[in-house]
Structure 1
Amino acid sequence: MNTHKIIKIIAFALAILGSIFALMIISGSDGMIDNILFITYAVLGLVLALVLIFVLKGLVTGDIKKTLMTVGAFLAVIFITYAMSSGTDLDLQPFNDKGLGITEATSKNVGAGLYAFYVLAFLAIGSMLFGGVKKILNK
């Protein structure tokens, strides 16, 4: 049995387990929530470990130059959006009056995350449109 089939079976089993646990949480059994959260963290850890393993496997077997360029471009977007974010464009007093403890650094991080999301979403949508138009024109 190849690796792809094994991963599909594991993913299907985890999806079924996730559905069962979601239904248990929705049903409102309070005593089970702690146990379900523990299982959820264990499953999340397993999934993250599998993702890390296959990413590292892909790095070793794939084109490392292309991967490093993609990671570099992503980090460039993060650094540029962090530099664009000021953290001072929001009145923090109402948040601090509620006891949330929002600082300018927190505001800058949130702003940078939003800018990064916008840039990456624009690039993703643009690449999909470009690929679709290119496919249509090549027919």
Structure 2
Amino acid sequence: MHKILKIVAAILGVLGIVFLVRIIAAGDDAIKSGEAAGLVDPMAYVAYVMLGLVLLFVVIFVITNLFTNTAGLKNTLIGVGAFAAVLVISYVLANGADQSFDLGLYKSGDEMATEGQSKMVGAGLIAFYVLLGVAAVSMIFSGVKKVLTK
């Protein structure tokens, strides 16, 4: 299995290098004008294949290791549950149409932001701040604990 993965990685790497050289040889002007669109697409497909393979193997190895180590499965489920709880609480706390701003200010092209989109952005920001705070506190706690135990 290891040899096969090395061969596939080498083939994809060589393909990526070949397509990159072709893109560089075409130049920026050809890419911007759209003349070299046929050069960029194969590079994107190689990237998609590599991303898909990486995700597939990560999922396979994670699942195999989880079921061989039941303590790891329990800890993983606790972590996933805590993360899901943070997301749900963030969504509940987020406001969709807050009175402090006009939804018309937020738009992409000609489309205005909807109340649902505004709520999702707010939930994402709240979740980010909560997770940032938890990470900072845990880093400080582990640093203090390490200093005190020495």
TM-score bin, normalised by smaller chain:
0.7 to 0.9
CA distance in 2, matches of 1:103, 1:56: 38
CA distance in 1, matches of 2:122, 2:79: 23
Q: Pairwise CA RMSD of aligned residues?
A: 3.2
Match of 1:125 among 108, 116, 136: 136
Q: 1:22 to 1:70 in 2, by over 3 A?
A: farther
Higher-Rg structure is: 2
Normalising by structure 1, we get a TM-score of 0.77
Please, which runs of 5 or more residues in structure 2 have no aligned partner?
Answer: none
Shift of 1:120: 0.9
Maintained 8 Å contact 2:104/2:112: no
**Residue correspondences, number:** 134
Shift of 1:61: 2.2
Partner secondary structure for residue 111 of structure 2: coil
CA distance in 2, matches of 1:23, 1:119: 44
Shift of 1:101: 3.8
Task: Give the % identical residues.
Answer: 46
Normalising by structure 2, we get a TM-score of 0.72
Structure 2 match to 1:111? 122
Match of 1:39 among 32, 41, 46: 46
Partner secondary structure for residue 87 of structure 1: coil
Matches within 5 A, 1:1-139: 20=17, 28=28, 30=36, 31-62=38-69, 63=71, 64-89=73-98, 90-96=101-107, 98-139=109-150
CA distance in 1, matches of 2:83, 2:113: 27
